[in-house]
Each structure stands twice: as C-alpha cells, then as structure tokens.
C-alpha cells in the first residue's frame, strides 16, 4: 500500500483552567509514500498543534486528542510512551526552527550525533556510526570536518543542516519540519530546501513541511494543505492549487504573497481576524471573513468536495466540483 499516514476526524483541544481552545478540529488528511506536503496558514491556524499532536509531544495533562492517525499500521493517538519511544527517530522524526538550540554547546557535533545514534542502536560499532554520520553530513552539504567542531563554530544555516542530519540518523519514514528554514536568510533557505528535496529522494523519506511561507512550499513540496482556524480549507497538488486556487481563503492567502508571481502587487490579503478558537462556530469557519459567504455558509459546515485529486471545503462548489453560481467565482487578482 502506498499510504503512509491517514488522519481521520482528528481534533486537538487545549484544556486550560477555565477555557478550552479548539486548535485543530475534525481534520482529515492522507499522505502517500514519497509525498512532500506543505501545510500553510496564518499564525495561530493550528499547524504546529497538528504536528505536535501527531508526534505526541503535547503535554497530556492539558491537551485532548481525538480521532485517528494511522501511521504504517499503528494509530499514533493510541500509542503508549514505550511505543512512542520506539518509533521516534526510527520511523517518525522532527526538525523545528529551534532544533539547533538543542545541541550542547560544550560537546563536539560528531559525538552528539553518535549519542543519538546509540539510543536505538546501542551495539553499533564506532565505524558504522562514523560512516553513517559522515554520509548524512555530506547529504546536507556539510564537510566531514563538522564532526569535530563545536556548535558555536557553525553558522545558523550549518547548524540547521546538522539538525536535519540528526533527524535522519535512523532513516525515518516520515519527517516533520516545523518552520525549519524560517530563521535562515533567503539564499541559505533556498540551498537547504534544494538539499532537502535531493536528500529525500535518496533516502525515500516522506515529509510534512509546516510553514507560513508559500514560497517554501512552492520550492520543496508536491502537495499543499491550506489550514485556517484549525481546519483544512483546501488540499491538493502544489502545481494545481498555486495555479488555480479554488477556496476563497487560498486565493486571499496567495494574493498576499506577491513574490510568487514575480511582480509586486498590492497586498490584498484578507481582512479581519482569526475567529476565537474557544468558541465552536457553526457553518464554514471562514464565512465571517469571506466575501462570498451565503446563509448556507454561516449555518452548514461544508463537506470536502473532491475535484480530480484536490479537495476543497467550500459551499461555492457542487459535489461534482463545479462552481454552483458562476457569478460567485472567487476574485483572484493575477
Ligand atoms: N498550550 C496552549 N494552550 C492554549 N492554547 C494554545 C496552546 N498552544 C497553542 N495554543 C493556541 O492554539 C492555536 C493554534 O496555535 P499553533 O501554534 O498550532 O498555530 P500555528 O499555525 O503553528 O501558528 P504559527 O504560524 O504562529 O506557528 C492558537 O490560537 C494558539 O494560541
Ligand atoms: Ni507554528
């Protein structure tokens, strides 16, 4: 089977003393082997929450996770701590924007990666470990010399390459990157994205790329999921969604990224704010900010409409994927 991860009716709620925050609500998503899926959305839309919940890195005390996340035959939601420990690094790995800060400043890079290697392979020989680590360093475009250096001797870009190499030590099947290249300058970011794409072809890794920057997705992903206020608005192939976005929110988001189209356009963006995530809203979550919203949008949650291989959650489209009313064609300034 080609499917690596299937998320079904997946919700994450933060439960604090007096209030709940419905950060991810009943989302559905499938990822095939070899996919690279970019998840985009405004700040606060729930991207990191979704990733952290899949990785089961959220404190159990004040988070509720419901639904299913089938990952190669296991439901991530149901795994106990021991089972989680077994699959972390081995099958499921993560790189954060701040991953580089996790490196110890007083130890050389090589030995730090060796320690991580030994977590799952305690009996590995020195040679085996060395050859694996230098192989990975080369894969992320670092020289072997990095092995003997201390973190402060490396630039931010080099450190993030080290974090990526570390995430790959045990050849995970799924790699989640949360704003992993965000803090880097544009040139370094571009180089690292190219390296990531090459690396995953070599290692056969599937990737989820979380970012607020659509150009990162354009440069490094084959699929895109647009998230808004804890729900997906549109999921599909990057080439289709960027060229012909269906959801009014995707269109608004894209017109906020003029660099994608080359020339500078006036930032049209989307007016208004994310809704209060402590209140469960009826109807389409985007309706209050959508210029096409009808009464139906305010009352009924749209079901996913499939068009070819893309899915859009919007009442503007019939179940066959046609625009119900041509006059309602979402405006998109090209
Ligand atoms: N521990 C927490 N307790 C309560 N609410 C939280 C907690 N962590 C995050 N949230 C809320 O959950 C929502 C989703 O946050 P999340 O960090 O997942 O968004 P994001 O899309 O990753 O944003 P960004 O692009 O800024 O990283 C936000 O409204 C946030 O305020
Ligand atoms: Ni985030």
Among residues of the chain, what percentage have pLDDT more than 70? 93
Determine the residue of 48, 54, 213, 275 to mutate for testing ligand 1's pocket, defined as the one with the most ligand atoms within 8 A of the Cβ atom. 48
- pLDDT at residue 307, rounded to an integer: 86
Q: What is the pLDDT of residues 103-125, one digit of tens each?
A: 999 999 999 999 999 988 999 99
Determine the residue of 27, 44, 212, 256 to mutate for testing ligand 1's pocket, defined as the one with the most ligand atoms within 8 A of the Cβ atom. 44
Q: Which comes out higher in pLDDT, residue 224 or 334?
A: 224
With both helix axes pointing from N to C terminus, report the angle between 126-139 and 186-203 in degrees, rounded to the nearest 10.
130
Taking the centre of ligand 1 as the mean of its atom positions, its distance from the CA of residue 97, in whole angstroms, is 15
Question: Per-residue pLDDT averaged across 138-143, rounded?
Answer: 92
> Does the pLDDT at position 268 exceed 60?
no
Residue nearest to ligand 1 atom 11, measured at CA? 23
Residue 178 CB partners (closer than 8 Å, separation 6+): 47, 48, 51, 94, 95, 96, 97, 210
> Does the pLDDT at position 326 exceed 80?
no
Taking the centre of ligand 2 as the mean of its atom positions, its distance from the CA of residue 37, in whole angstroms, is 15
Give the ligand with the smallest distance to the CA of 42: 1
Give 265's pLDDT tier (boundaries 50, 70, 90): very low
Taking the centre of ligand 1 as the mean of its atom positions, its distance from the CA of residue 52, in whole angstroms, is 11
Residue 12 CA, distance from chain mean position: 16
Cα separation, 76 vs 87, in Å, equals 10
CB 163 within 8 A of CB 182: no
> Does the pLDDT at position 163 exceed 90?
yes
Cα separation, 266 vs 249, in Å, equals 17
Q: Which comes out higher in pLDDT, residue 222 or 254?
A: 222
Residue 212 CB partners (closer than 8 Å, separation 6+): 40, 41, 42, 43, 47, 179, 182
Tell me the residue length of the chain.
Answer: 334
Residue span of the structural domain in which 173 resides: 3-241
Residue 33 in domain: yes
Question: Hey, which residues does 113 pair with through a beta bridge?
Answer: none
Cα separation, 167 vs 133, in Å, equals 11
Lowest mean pLDDT among 12-21, 166-175, 317-326: 317-326
> Does the pLDDT at position 6 exceed 70?
yes
- pLDDT at residue 260, rounded to an integer: 53
Residue 271 in domain: no
Ligand 1 atom nearest to CA at 212:
25
> Does the pLDDT at position 334 exceed 50?
no
**Listed residues: CB within 5 A of ion ligand 2:** 47-48
Residue 67 in domain: yes
What lines the ligand 1 site, CB under 6 Å?
14, 16, 21, 23, 41, 43-49, 212, 277
Cα separation, 16 vs 328, in Å, equals 41
Domain count, the chain: 1
Phi then psi dihedrals of residue 93, to 5 deg = -130, 165
- pLDDT at residue 78, rounded to an integer: 97
Residue 158 in domain: yes
Question: Domain holding 66: CATH number?
Answer: 3.40.50.300
Q: What is the pLDDT of residues 234-255, one digit of tens each?
A: 999 999 999 999 999 999 888 8
Residue 294 in domain: no
List Cβ<8 Å contacts ≥24 apart for 123-126.
Answer: none
Taking the centre of ligand 1 as the mean of its atom positions, its distance from the CA of residue 57, in whole angstroms, is 14
Report ipTM for this prediction: 0.99
Determine the residue of 49, 64, 226 to mutate for testing ligand 1's pocket, defined as the one with the most ligand atoms within 8 A of the Cβ atom. 49
Q: Which of 20, 38, 21, 50 is nearest to 231 (CA)?
A: 50
Using alpha carbons only, give the angle 122, 93, 206 rounded to the nearest 5 degrees: 125
Residue 58 in domain: yes
- The token pair at 131 is 């050859």
Ligand 1 atom nearest to CA at 46:
18
Q: What is the mean pLDDT of the chain?
A: 91
Residue 109 CA, distance from chain mean position: 27
Residue 272 in domain: no
Residue nearest to ligand 1 atom 26, measured at CA? 43
């Amino acid at each position: 089977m080609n499917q690596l991860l299937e998320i079904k009716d997946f919700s994450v709620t933060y439960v604090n003393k007096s209030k709940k925050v419905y950060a991810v609500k009943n989302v559905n998503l499938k990822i095939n082997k070899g996919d690279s899926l970019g998840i985009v959305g405004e700040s606060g839309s729930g991207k990191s929450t979704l990733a952290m919940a899949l990785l089961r890195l959220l404190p159990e005390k004040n988070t509720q996770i419901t639904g299913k996340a089938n990952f190669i035959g296991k439901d991530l939601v149901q795994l106990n701590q021991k089972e989680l420990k077994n699959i972390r690094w081995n099958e499921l790995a993560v790189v954060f924007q701040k991953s580089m800060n996790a490196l110890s400043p007083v130890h050389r890079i090589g030995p730090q990666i060796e320690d991580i290697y030994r977590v799952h392979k305690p009996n590995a020989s020195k040679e085996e470990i060395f050859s694996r680590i230098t192989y990975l360093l080369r894969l992320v475009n670092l020289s072997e010399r990095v092995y003997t250096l201390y973190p402060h001797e490396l630039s931010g870009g080099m450190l993030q390459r080290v974090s990526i190499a570390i995430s790959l030590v045990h050849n995970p099947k799924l790699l989640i990157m949360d704003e992993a290249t965000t803090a880097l300058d544009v040139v370094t970011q571009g180089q690292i994205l190219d390296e990531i794409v090459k690396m995953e072809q070599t290692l056969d890794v599937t990737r989820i790329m979380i970012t607020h920057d659509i150009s990162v997705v354009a440069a490094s992903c084959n699929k895109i999921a647009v998230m808004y206020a804890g729900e997906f608005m549109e999921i599909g192939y990057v080439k289709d969604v960027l060229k012909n976005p269906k959801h009014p929110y995707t269109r608004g988001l894209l017109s906020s990224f003029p660099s994608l189209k080359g020339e500078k356009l006036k930032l049209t963006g989307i007016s208004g704010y994310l809704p209060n995530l402590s209140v469960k809203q009826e109807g389409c979550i985007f309706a209050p900010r959508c210029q096409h919203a009808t009464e139906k949008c305010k009352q009924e949650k749209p079901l996913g409409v499939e068009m070819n291989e893309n899915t859009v959650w919007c009442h503007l489209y019939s179940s066959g994927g046609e625009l119900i009313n041509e006059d309602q064609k979402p405006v998109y300034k090209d």
